[in-house]
């Protein structure tokens, strides 16, 4: 839990960026208004988290998941945000899946490269052993002669 009320506030830089993106160019916002929006956003996040936690507890779970948040939005009567949230969630999942697949492919490529290097190393060792065997045979033949 937070030790001070200020710990519950969202980062000012994030709030400022969101506000600037939401407002048309040339529109400024006072420091006081930015602070009020930051507090309101923090209260909203806490309320949404509390509602989502209630759904998780009903499901006898300690971990909140996306369906808990979506159910909380509906309970809080923010239905108009559910569709954009679902779209954002799908985009996030696709992005994570793409990252996972890229990571797996990179690992496969690395494993393949490592395997090829091991095969090459093994071949070199075998060639070295063959050379040593030939040299030993030549030395034995010279001794016999």
Number of domains forming the structure of the chain: 2
Give me the pLDDT at residue 92, please. Answer: 95
pTM: 0.62
Do 1 and 68 reside in the same domain of the chain? Answer: yes
Average pLDDT over all residues of the chain: 87
Q: What is the dihedral of CA 86, 88, 92, 98, to 10 degrees?
A: 100
Are 35 and 1 contacting, i.e. CB atoms less than 8 angstroms apart? no
**Enclosing domain of residue 122:** 94-145
> pLDDT grade, residue 6 (50/70/90)?
low
Q: Over 80: is that where the pLDDT of 2 sits? A: no
62/125 same-domain check = no
Tell me, rounded to whole angstroms, the distance of Cα 51 from its chain centroid: 25
Three-class DSSP category at 120: helix
Closest residue by Cα to residue 37 from 7, 10, 8:
10
**Confidence band of 1 (pLDDT split at 50, 70, 90):** low
Asked if 52 and 71 count as a contact pair (C-beta separation under 8 A), the reply is yes
Domain check: are 107 and 43 in the same one? no
Domain annotation covers residue 86: no
pLDDT in tens, 70-118: 999 999 999 999 999 999 999 999 999 998 888 888 888 887 777 777 8
Structure confidence at residue 12 as a pLDDT band (50, 70, 90)? confident
Residue 90 has which token pair?
């799908």
Split at pLDDT 50, 70, 90, the class of 129 is: confident
User: pLDDT of 55-80, one tens digit each?
Assistant: 999 999 999 999 999 999 999 999 99
* CA distance linking residue 126 with residue 114, whole number of Å: 18
Q: How far apart are CA 26 and CA 35, in angstroms?
A: 20
Share of the chain above pLDDT 70, in %: 94
Enumerate residues 6+ apart whose C-beta is below 8 A from 38. Answer: 9, 10, 12, 15
If asked whether residues 24 and 67 sit together in one domain, one would say yes
CA pair distance 48, 54, nearest whole angstrom: 10
Q: Are residues 145 and 109 in the same domain?
A: yes
List, in order, residues 6 or more apart from 68 with CB less than 8 Å away.
Answer: 52, 53, 55, 56, 59
């Amino acid at each position: 839990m937070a030790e001070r009320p200020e710990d519950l506030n969202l980062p000012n830089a994030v709030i400022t960026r969101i506000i600037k993106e939401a407002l048309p160019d040339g529109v400024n916002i006072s420091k006081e208004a930015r602070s009020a929006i930051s507090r309101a956003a923090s209260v909203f996040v806490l309320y949404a988290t509390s509602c989502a936690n209630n759904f998780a507890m009903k499901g006898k779970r300690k971990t909140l998941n996306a369906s808990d948040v979506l159910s909380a939005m509906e309970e809080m009567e923010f239905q108009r945000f559910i569709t954009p949230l679902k779209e954002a969630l799908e985009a996030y999942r696709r992005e994570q899946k793409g990252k996972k697949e890229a990571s797996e492919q990179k690992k496969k490529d690395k494993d393949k490269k490592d395997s090829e290097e091991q095969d090459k190393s093994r071949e070199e060792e075998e060639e070295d052993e063959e050379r040593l065997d030939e040299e030993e045979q030549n030395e034995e033949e010279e001794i016999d002669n």
